[in-house]
Amino acid sequence: MKKTYKKDINMFKKDFPYFQNSNTIYLDNAASTQKPKCVIDSQVEYYEKYCANIHRSSFSHANKATKNYENTRKILKNFINARCIEEIIFTKGVTESINFIASSYAKEFKTVIISSLEHHSNIVPWHMQGRELNRGLEVVSCDDNLNFNMQHFEELLKQNPKSFVSITHISNAFGKIHDIKSIIHLAHKYKAVVMIDAAQSLAHFKVDMQELEVDFFVMSGHKTFAPTGLGAIYIKKEHLKNVQAYQTGGATIHEVDYNSSTLLNSPYKFEAGTQNIVGVIGFSKALEYILSIGYEKIETIENDLYIYLDEELRKLDDIIFYNDINKAIGSRSFNFKNIFHDDIAILLDKMNIALRVGHHCAQPIMKHLNIKGTIRVSLAFYNDKNDIDKLIKALKKALSILKK
Ligand code: PLP
């Protein structure tokens, strides 16, 4: 069948069926990205042509499913420059990955250090261990532009050597980028172990495990143009022997009798039960798609767009920002004086603008700023200036209605 594209969509959006089927201006990429056709096709192909479980049966479709699943591990290993496939474990997403590491490994650490910009997924698992501020949990302060306070971080590391540091790379709520290379380097000086919440990273940046020398790196598929319900953890090889399996059961097992069980080695011992096979296969297509465009191009497009977004938003009356755009990408958060953000979202939705308002699963920083939440525009490389112009036009209209 001949492909029909909407004439007015850019060359990248043409790769995403969502934009051919919808007039929505999609600006909620920090929540989840759209999926390119190659990812969707791989899902359909699996279900229609070789649907079978992996690592179990030996008929040809089962072997093909296993091969494609394991091929994603290799592709991701190369993508992030891990040393070996044992270091790559698939999970449901970043939330599960952090819960896994928190409950099976990091619980042994007396102190966990996080930043002020963490998502609830990197706060609540620590509370579930009974940790509170200054009682097993320390929070690095930030300045008025939400920049990470490196001096405070060093003080906390000095006071709490051999801590577990768990810090987001990019704030989903405000777009602030943490200088994770310096954070990891400093943490290691004080014998800390570091986990980076990279939920927002792969859609925007190239990352390299050897360059970062990070201990744990948790990634999200659905925020990286891949299917939902899929994530991955990189665990530095040195730590594999100390990480306990978070769940056990089928597929993790070397030998079982009624008295005891022995587990396989990583990565299999960490992937209990039937996995999100189709999601993992789709992830490889998303990673290949990113490589076909190249991070250099993605970063250039996004930086230009982010600056344009900021410039255009600044022209609006009574806009309130909470940070500058220095060392920030993707998400831009704001409010308007005396306007409730939920009202903006309702009106924008009627004008086909999709964005998120509220606390963005980051209530502590909202409380610190003394606000209930923000209006958040979050960009991906397939957005363009036309999207931003339409957003601004819609915001102007919404504001004129709400100010009446
Ligand atoms: N951490 C950050 C910074 C996020 O932005 C998100 C999702 O918004 C999460 C964690 C949770 O990720 P997932 O949906 O993969 O569980």
Is any ligand 1 atom within 6 A of the Cβ of residue 121?
A: yes
Instruction: Tell me the two tokens of residue 235.
Output: 């665990």
Is any ligand 1 atom within 6 A of the Cβ of residue 136?
A: no
Map out the domains of the chain as residue ranges: 10-31+294-402, 39-292
Can you tell me the distance from the alpha carbon of 86 to that of 77, in angstroms, rounded to the nearest whole number? 9
pLDDT tens figures, 346-401? 999 999 999 999 999 999 999 999 999 999 999 999 999 999 999 999 999 999 99
CATH no. for 39-292: 3.40.640.10
pLDDT tens figures, 83-121? 999 999 999 999 999 999 999 999 999 999 999 999 999
Can you tell me the distance from the alpha carbon of 370 to that of 151, in angstroms, rounded to the nearest whole number? 24
Q: Assign 404 a pLDDT band (cuts: 50, 70, 90).
A: confident
Relative to the CA of 93, which ligand 1 atom is closest?
A: 15
CATH superfamily, domain at 10-31+294-402: Aspartate Aminotransferase, domain 1 (3.90.1150.10)
Is any ligand 1 atom within 6 A of the Cβ of residue 199?
A: yes
> Nearest to residue 42, comparing CAs of 72, 84, 19?
72
- pLDDT at residue 5 greater than cutoff 60: no
Relative to the CA of 118, which ligand 1 atom is closest?
A: 3
Is any ligand 1 atom within 6 A of the Cβ of residue 156?
A: no
Q: What pLDDT score does 306 carry? A: 98
Relative to the CA of 95, which ligand 1 atom is closest?
A: 16
To the question of pTM greater than 0.95 for the whole model, the response is yes
The alpha carbon of 32 and the centre of ligand 1 are apart by a number of angstroms equal to 9
- Burial status of residue 257 (CB atoms within 10 A of its CB: 0-12, 13-18, 19 or more): exposed
What is the tally of helices (H) and strands (E) in the chain?
14, 16
Q: What pLDDT score does 1 carry? A: 45
What Cα–Cα distance (Å) separates residue 116 from each residue in 80, 189, 335, 373, 399?
26, 22, 20, 15, 31
Is any ligand 1 atom within 6 A of the Cβ of residue 172?
A: yes
Active site residues: 361
The alpha carbon of 344 and the centre of ligand 1 are apart by a number of angstroms equal to 24
